[in-house]
Amino acid sequence: MASVIAGLAGGVVATIVMTVAMMVMGDGGPPPTAALVAMFAGGQPEDHAMPGMALHLLYGIAAGAVFAVGVPLVGLSLGSIGVAVGLGLVYGLVLMIGGMMFWMRIVIGMEPDKGTMMTFGTVHVIYGVVLGAFLGAGIVA
């Protein structure tokens, strides 16, 4: 069973890998979390790129801990790297759907175009796979 610490560490690693992929694939604009920061701080999302990125990192770290703790709670195990990667892939898809439907559309009020949705989906799958691999490999106990 993965610990909360392992989940936090996996969340850091997976979010960094995801962010690199997002920067390579994206349009060079700020992350969607910058729009969330702008809702509370005022201004435009471009004005809040770094706080948006910090918020995104915090989300990723917390989501790693939720995955590490949540998987055993639903009766599954991260003991096999193959199973852990598969569960991470599913988790990435769940995060993608939640992010697109709830955060982007309802909370922020965005209507992302097809390219944005493809990038968003791809990087969340990358996040989940990396998180699953990290936890399945048992790098941090």
Q: What share of the chain is helix, strand, coil (3-state, %, to 5)?
A: 80, 0, 20
* Per-residue pLDDT in tens (0 to 9) along the chain, 141 residues: 689 999 999 999 999 999 999 999 987 888 888 988 999 999 999 999 999 999 999 999 999 999 999 999 999 999 899 999 999 999 999 999 988 888 888 888 888 888 888 998 999 999 999 999 999 999 997
Q: Tell me the whole-structure pTM to 2 decimals.
A: 0.92
Residue 57: count of CB within 10 angstroms of its CB: 18
Q: Give me the helix-helix angle, 114-137 and 4-25, nearest 10°.
A: 150
Give residue for tokens 């799958």.
Answer: 125
User: What angle is formed at CA 117 by the lines to CA 111 and CA 122, rounded to 5 degrees?
Assistant: 160
